[in-house]
Structure 1
């Protein structure tokens, strides 16, 4: 197993410990084995652990890559029972936070000064902790309220190692287990790896947010947070703060007088517009990323995971749905020689028609280069020694963008009002 053998052992230990808990639950012995009293290193709690709790805690202990898997599963009501979906939903914004000292070091390295100098106010208690980063409330010197996302220290190396392990395990399963081969597990891991690696670069997420703002520039009922480029790097992302009621908080929606039928119609129009008109869509639409405004508008956040649909795909929605299920004999798309396209035989960078994939770099106000990042804008305003470039392969320079790029009425942004669904206007 090479250099990653210690990580294999760590993963095995976590799965073994929590697997015993799941087994006890299946056998009806969960209440008799005191996992909730600290057995086998479990955290103490009042009630016995349920099977979904064991799995959720295992994913959290295994770190960012596995937490992201849990987040994806939390949106799959079509695949999992309600109890499992509800438990995995806790991974959306309730992951154990990284220590403030490490986060502070990242901010100092990336922005060239302590956060207390760069921002007028900065709350060290995170608003939310997710798999890749943590979000903090802050205020710019002009009084603008923002959210500052900071990538967890060391997360890049751990994600790359875990993805290599997942790829290795998927290849083994594909070779040795006939029943799993029809699901193209290596292809699924490849797709997951591509999307997760894209999320590691906050400059790319900033570009994605810029593009969504342009696409929905004429949609009065869709809100996209503004990116503040002077305090954005590949490890730090500063966005306009979006408040509101989480879209799954039904009591909160009713208390605010929100028409839930109109909200559902708005959400459907947004999804259809992204996929069929813009061909660029939000690929992580869990409830923690959608907030309903007092006027009924919908604010979208977290643009690290996005996808694109080719022009040739729009006439084949049935084919797309069919690809989500195994191709059994008799299925209209069954191939007797192989159940799914072998993605591993394609040349790097090529995708078959119909694939949804994360976009590469987009034209925008940010430029990623190989040189150390430019700390001049922040350091000039807040005198401090410019730090040495970090070693995680993050060499990137942020170029300032003129204020005009935020004009929601910019020419060429989104669809003409006559073609835009009424719910978006």
Structure 2
């Protein structure tokens, strides 16, 4: 029943107990976990209990109690407005990484183990008090031997083991729920768990964050008001990452300050983000205000590249075409672009989906699209896709989340700025690039290289086929996957017919002999013989033989 067996029994029992205490015991009891984990039946609460609280609030409280892995899961759910209802998403937004820091002695041990030198040799100074503590790691300020001020992020002790244990249990829970409940299938809990597992594993591996930060630092050099920290690979590993220290104010501290620089920052931030998405195809997928600082040099610093999104050229073109179709209010084109960005079931009603898209676009009909929150519009259509069982690729859901966050920040800095207006030049640039002769020639060259091997062997293959035709050696192999089932049914039918005919023949023989013995000449030699007895014995043995052969074939 449980793929993890009993190796995580204590943690499993704690998770189930916490969920039950917050009112989800009846669900867990339905999938048999109370019996497997030997939990008391009193925890299997009735959902109609008078103390029944809103489901979103109860989920949030349970995740806060279960710790770092589940807090991260809740934060990811808060970004999936396309998949989960508002009453859950709104509660998940409230989840915070409010965890105490771990001891400096453990910090020192991890640093020395990873760098293979005493901490005093690696760093001239190293502040014992952390600047910040989160669920996966904490940050300390230090100084390199050359005098460079740095921030050192260190993973919590045994965090990888803790995460893997929780992911094993989470995979079991989502599988059991999906097998038992339709709502678990509708919300794709198993897919969400798999997506979350990949994201949190990447975030806990600081070598990935180091490479992401290096790449973003290089990509953003052209933006004079945007700063990306420099990383130091020599002082980094899977469990720690060292980067240049940036002293600045948090977004929550400076956004309400009066200043003429706000519109300039809004424009620069929007421009940088669109460049990441539409030109580089490599973007910060979690640009929340906590990852945004205003430096003393009047520059915006983006932090924490543990979560990034990637779009290839085709995906970037599909996305910009999707946005253009929305601005033009063309439901057929919007639907077509959605199909390009998703896994679409064959059973989808295309006409009905287009009508749904048209209805959603009418929601913005009375307003210029420049005044519409593009992230809101994208998310509305993605949510409609979910209702039609159209599964949007995760790259686009990450992008939708990032667009919503960036739009929220920009609207606070400059309410009159529209991200759609800023995106127009990028759309024209991509269109010109797509239609440029060089792009076509490059595309055809790549396709030619892919087809080269096929073209080289084609003449030889054709010649071999023609030789076989000339020599009358050409044969065809026809494969019929269902033929065995058909033949088995024929065997059953023929055996049943044989059985019926044998019974009929047996009956006719017996009736004929009995009639002959009764009304025939009693002096006849045949009548004097025990013909009835002999015929009965022979027929009976034939009947038994036939029954045996049919039963032995297994096709009766």
TM range (shorter): 0.5 to 0.7
The residue that corresponds to 1:395 in the other structure is none
> Using the alignment, how far apart are the partners of 1:107 and 1:267 within structure 2?
35
The residue that corresponds to 1:141 in the other structure is 145
Alignment of 1:87 onto 2:137: no
Q: 119, 129, 146: which is aligned to 2:133?
A: 129
Answer yes or no: is the 8 Å Cα contact 1:289–1:301 preserved in 2: yes
Please report how far the alpha carbon of residue 264 of structure 1 lies from its aligned counterpart in structure 2 after TM superposition. 2.8
- Report the CA distance shift for 1:306/1:270 in structure 2 as closer, same or farther (over 3 A): same
- Report the CA distance shift for 1:284/1:256 in structure 2 as closer, same or farther (over 3 A): same
Range with bigger deviation, 96-105 or 151-160: 96-105
Please report how far the alpha carbon of residue 256 of structure 1 lies from its aligned counterpart in structure 2 after TM superposition. 7.0
The residue that corresponds to 1:69 in the other structure is 73
Please report how far the alpha carbon of residue 69 of structure 1 lies from its aligned counterpart in structure 2 after TM superposition. 2.0
The residue that corresponds to 2:389 in the other structure is 339
For residues 280-291 of structure 1, the aligned pairs below 5 Å read 280-291=282-293
Q: 151, 156, 179: which is aligned to 2:155?
A: 151
- Report the CA distance shift for 1:52/1:142 in structure 2 as closer, same or farther (over 3 A): farther
- What root-mean-square deviation, in Å, do the aligned CA atoms of Structure 1 and Structure 2 show? 4.0
Report which of the two structures shows the higher radius of gyration computed on alpha carbons. Answer: 2
| 2:102 counterpart SS class | coil
The residue that corresponds to 1:382 in the other structure is none
Q: 250, 262, 267: which is aligned to 2:269?
A: 267
Please report how far the alpha carbon of residue 266 of structure 1 lies from its aligned counterpart in structure 2 after TM superposition. 2.6
Please report how far the alpha carbon of residue 174 of structure 1 lies from its aligned counterpart in structure 2 after TM superposition. 2.3
How many residues end up aligned between the 2 structures? 324
The residue that corresponds to 2:208 in the other structure is 204
The residue that corresponds to 2:230 in the other structure is 226
Q: 1:140-178: per-residue Cα shift (whole Å, max 9, x none)?
A: 222221110101111111111211222222222222222
> Using the alignment, how far apart are the partners of 1:320 and 1:96 within structure 2?
44
> Using the alignment, how far apart are the partners of 2:110 and 2:244 within structure 1?
20
Answer yes or no: is the 8 Å Cα contact 2:281–2:316 preserved in 1: no
The residue that corresponds to 1:188 in the other structure is 192
Query: Structure 2: 5+ residue runs without aligned partners?
Result: 25-45, 323-336, 355-381, 400-428, 430-556
Query: Structure 1: 5+ residue runs without aligned partners?
Result: 31-49, 344-351, 359-418, 420-425
Q: 1:240-271: per-residue Cα shift (whole Å, max 9, x none)?
A: 1122222233xx33447363333333332222
> Using the alignment, how far apart are the partners of 1:15 and 1:188 within structure 2?
18
The residue that corresponds to 1:171 in the other structure is 175
> Using the alignment, how far apart are the partners of 1:108 and 1:60 within structure 2?
32
Q: 264, 275, 278: which is aligned to 1:276?
A: 278
Please report how far the alpha carbon of residue 114 of structure 1 lies from its aligned counterpart in structure 2 after TM superposition. 3.4
> Using the alignment, how far apart are the partners of 1:127 and 1:194 within structure 2?
27
| 1:315 counterpart SS class | helix
Q: 1:326-353: per-residue Cα shift (whole Å, max 9, x none)?
A: 99863349999x9256x9xxxxxxxx79
TM-score of the two chains, using structure 1 as the length reference: 0.65
Q: 1:109-140: per-residue Cα shift (whole Å, max 9, x none)?
A: 11223323321111111111112111111122
Please report how far the alpha carbon of residue 280 of structure 1 lies from its aligned counterpart in structure 2 after TM superposition. 0.7
> Using the alignment, how far apart are the partners of 1:186 and 1:121 within structure 2?
46
